[in-house]
Structure 1
Amino acid sequence: MLRKHLDYYLRYLDHDIPAGLVVFLVALPLCLGIAVASGAPPFSGVIAGIVGGLVVSIASGSQLSVSGPAAGLAVIVAAAVEKLGFDGMLLAVALSGLIQVAMGYVRAGVIGAYFPSSVIKGMLAAIGVILIMKQLPHAVGYDADAESDLSFLEGDSHTSFSFLTSALQSISPGATLVACVSLGILILWETPTIKERKILSLVPGPLVAVIFGVFFNLIARSALPSLAIAPQHLVGLPVISGPLEFFREFHFPDLHLLANAQVYVTAATIALVGSLETLLSLEAADKLDPLKRTAPPDQELKAQGLGNFISGMVGGLPITAVIVRSSANINAGAHTKVSAVVHGLLLLLAVMFLSSILNMIPLACLAAVLLLTGYKLAKPKLTIEQYEKGFDQFAPFAITIAAILLTDLLEGMAIGMAVGIFFVLRGNYHSAFALTRDGSNYLLRLQKDVSFLNKAPLRDILDSIEPDSYVVIDGTRATFIDHDIMETLDDFFKAAGDDNIRVELKNMRGLAPVNGLVAAA
Structure 2
Amino acid sequence: MSVSQKNGLFSTLKQDVPASIVVFLVAVPLCLGIALASGAPLFSGIIAGIVGGIVVGALSGSQLGVSGPAAGLAVIVLSAINELGSFEIFLAAVVISGVIQLILGYAKAGIIGYYFPSSVIKGMLSGIGIIIILKQIPHGFGYDKDYEGSLKFVQSDGHNTLSEIYHMFEAISPGAAIITALSMVVLILWERPFMKQIKLFQIVQGPLVVVTMGILLNMLFKTIPSLALNTDQVVAVPVASSIAGFFGQFTTPDFSQILSPAVWTIGATIAIVASLETLLCLEATDKLDPQKRVTPTNRELKAQGIGNIISGFIGGLPITQVIVRSSTNIQSGGQTKMSAILHGVIMLICAMAIPNVLNLIPLASLAAILFIVGYKLAKPALFKQMYALGKEHFIPFMVTIAGIIFTDLLVGIVLGLVVAVMYILYNNYKKPFLFESDKHLNDNYLHLELAEDVTFINKASILKTLGQVPDGSKIMIDASRSINICQDVIEIIDEFKTSAQYRNIEVVIKEREKKGVENQRRAVEFALKEI
TM-score of Structure 1 vs Structure 2, range by shorter chain: 0.7 to 0.9
Percent identity (aligned): 37
Check the 8 A contact 1:33/1:367 in 2, yes or no. Answer: no
Deviations 1:500-521 (A, max 9, x none): 4333322435453311133353
- Indicate the residue corresponding to 2:352 in structure 1: 352
- Indicate the residue corresponding to 2:117 in structure 1: 116
- In structure 2, what is the Cα distance between the partners aligned to 1:338 and 1:158? 39
- In structure 2, what is the Cα distance between the partners aligned to 1:279 and 1:143? 32
3-state DSSP of counterpart to 1:472:
strand
Deviations 1:136-185 (A, max 9, x none): 222111253769x9994369997543333112221001101112222332
Which range moved further: 39-48 or 461-470? Answer: 39-48
Check the 8 A contact 2:397/2:416 in 1, yes or no. Answer: yes
- Indicate the residue corresponding to 1:444 in structure 2: 448
- In structure 2, what is the Cα distance between the partners aligned to 1:404 and 1:155? 17
- Indicate the residue corresponding to 1:206 in structure 2: 207
Alignment of 1:115-194 (within 5 A): 115-142=116-143, 144=145, 152-153=153-154, 159-194=160-195
3-state DSSP of counterpart to 1:370:
helix
3-state DSSP of counterpart to 1:169:
coil
The letter for the 2-side match of 1:217 is N
CA root-mean-square deviation: 3.6
Question: TM-score if structure 2 supplies the norm length?
Answer: 0.82
Check the 8 A contact 2:288/2:327 in 1, yes or no. Answer: no
- In structure 2, what is the Cα distance between the partners aligned to 1:109 and 1:11? 28
Deviations 1:309-366 (A, max 9, x none): 323442346231654365368x4665xx556544433332222212221111001112
Check the 8 A contact 1:429/1:453 in 2, yes or no. Answer: yes
The Cα shift of 1:377 comes to: 3.5
Which range moved further: 309-318 or 433-442? Answer: 309-318
- In structure 1, what is the Cα distance between the partners aligned to 2:96 and 2:182? 41
Structure 2 vs 1, CA of residues 350 and 166 (structure 1 numbering), >3 Å: closer, same or farther? same
State the aligned residue count. Answer: 504
- Indicate the residue corresponding to 2:198 in structure 1: 197
- In structure 2, what is the Cα distance between the partners aligned to 1:372 and 1:95? 38
Check the 8 A contact 2:35/2:45 in 1, yes or no. Answer: no
Deviations 1:224-268 (A, max 9, x none): 432222233111112347654432222566877973767754553
- Indicate the residue corresponding to 1:516 in structure 2: 526
Alignment of 1:307-456 (within 5 A): 307-313=307-313, 314-316=315-317, 318-320=319-321, 323-324=326-327, 327=330, 331=333, 340-436=340-436, 437-456=441-460
**Aligned to 2:31, which of 30, 35, 45?**
35
Check the 8 A contact 1:47/1:317 in 2, yes or no. Answer: no
- In structure 2, what is the Cα distance between the partners aligned to 1:468 and 1:376? 64
The Cα shift of 1:60 comes to: 2.5
Check the 8 A contact 1:434/1:445 in 2, yes or no. Answer: yes
- In structure 2, what is the Cα distance between the partners aligned to 1:129 and 1:328? 16
Which range moved further: 77-86 or 408-417? Answer: 77-86
The Cα shift of 1:211 comes to: 0.9
3-state DSSP of counterpart to 1:227:
coil
- In structure 2, what is the Cα distance between the partners aligned to 1:269 and 1:170? 36
Check the 8 A contact 1:77/1:89 in 2, yes or no. Answer: no
- Indicate the residue corresponding to 1:472 in structure 2: 476
Check the 8 A contact 1:404/1:413 in 2, yes or no. Answer: yes
- Indicate the residue corresponding to 2:500 in structure 1: 496
3-state DSSP of counterpart to 2:480:
strand
Check the 8 A contact 1:16/1:339 in 2, yes or no. Answer: no
- In structure 2, what is the Cα distance between the partners aligned to 1:102 and 1:507? 44
The letter for the 1-side match of 2:401 is I
Structure 2 vs 1, CA of residues 284 and 305 (structure 1 numbering), >3 Å: closer, same or farther? farther
The Cα shift of 1:198 comes to: 3.5
Which range moved further: 201-210 or 459-468? Answer: 459-468
Structure 2 vs 1, CA of residues 139 and 132 (structure 1 numbering), >3 Å: closer, same or farther? same
Which range moved further: 503-512 or 429-438? Answer: 503-512
- Indicate the residue corresponding to 1:288 in structure 2: 291
The Cα shift of 1:431 comes to: 1.0
The Cα shift of 1:298 comes to: 0.9
- In structure 1, what is the Cα distance between the partners aligned to 2:249 and 2:302? 27
- Indicate the residue corresponding to 2:249 in structure 1: 249
The letter for the 2-side match of 1:327 is I
The letter for the 2-side match of 1:318 is I
3-state DSSP of counterpart to 1:122:
helix
Which range moved further: 390-399 or 44-53? Answer: 44-53
3-state DSSP of counterpart to 2:528:
helix
Check the 8 A contact 1:137/1:164 in 2, yes or no. Answer: yes
- In structure 2, what is the Cα distance between the partners aligned to 1:118 and 1:442? 38
- In structure 2, what is the Cα distance between the partners aligned to 1:424 and 1:316? 38
Check the 8 A contact 1:51/1:344 in 2, yes or no. Answer: yes
Check the 8 A contact 2:497/2:507 in 1, yes or no. Answer: yes
**Aligned to 1:505, which of 509, 519, 522?**
509
Structure 2 vs 1, CA of residues 84 and 121 (structure 1 numbering), >3 Å: closer, same or farther? farther
Check the 8 A contact 1:140/1:179 in 2, yes or no. Answer: yes
- In structure 1, what is the Cα distance between the partners aligned to 2:90 and 2:496? 60
Check the 8 A contact 1:33/1:42 in 2, yes or no. Answer: no
Structure 2 vs 1, CA of residues 46 and 376 (structure 1 numbering), >3 Å: closer, same or farther? farther
The letter for the 1-side match of 2:272 is A
- In structure 1, what is the Cα distance between the partners aligned to 2:405 and 2:173? 28
- In structure 1, what is the Cα distance between the partners aligned to 2:42 and 2:156? 26
- In structure 1, what is the Cα distance between the partners aligned to 2:267 and 2:165? 29
- In structure 1, what is the Cα distance between the partners aligned to 2:488 and 2:327? 49
Structure 2 vs 1, CA of residues 443 and 242 (structure 1 numbering), >3 Å: closer, same or farther? farther
The Cα shift of 1:96 comes to: 4.3
- In structure 2, what is the Cα distance between the partners aligned to 1:348 and 1:112? 31
- In structure 1, what is the Cα distance between the partners aligned to 2:133 and 2:494? 59
- Indicate the residue corresponding to 1:47 in structure 2: 47
Deviations 1:202-228 (A, max 9, x none): 222221211111111222333x43222
- Indicate the residue corresponding to 1:59 in structure 2: 59
Check the 8 A contact 2:141/2:168 in 1, yes or no. Answer: yes
3-state DSSP of counterpart to 1:488:
helix
* Structure 2 gaps, min length 5: none
The Cα shift of 1:308 comes to: 2.9
3-state DSSP of counterpart to 1:226:
coil
- In structure 1, what is the Cα distance between the partners aligned to 2:216 and 2:98? 40
Deviations 1:398-450 (A, max 9, x none): 33333444444444433333322222111111111122323322210111322
- In structure 1, what is the Cα distance between the partners aligned to 2:93 and 2:179? 35
- Indicate the residue corresponding to 2:17 in structure 1: 21
The letter for the 2-side match of 1:65 is L
Which range moved further: 255-264 or 100-109? Answer: 255-264
Check the 8 A contact 1:39/1:146 in 2, yes or no. Answer: no
The Cα shift of 1:484 comes to: 2.1
The letter for the 1-side match of 2:383 is T
3-state DSSP of counterpart to 2:482:
strand
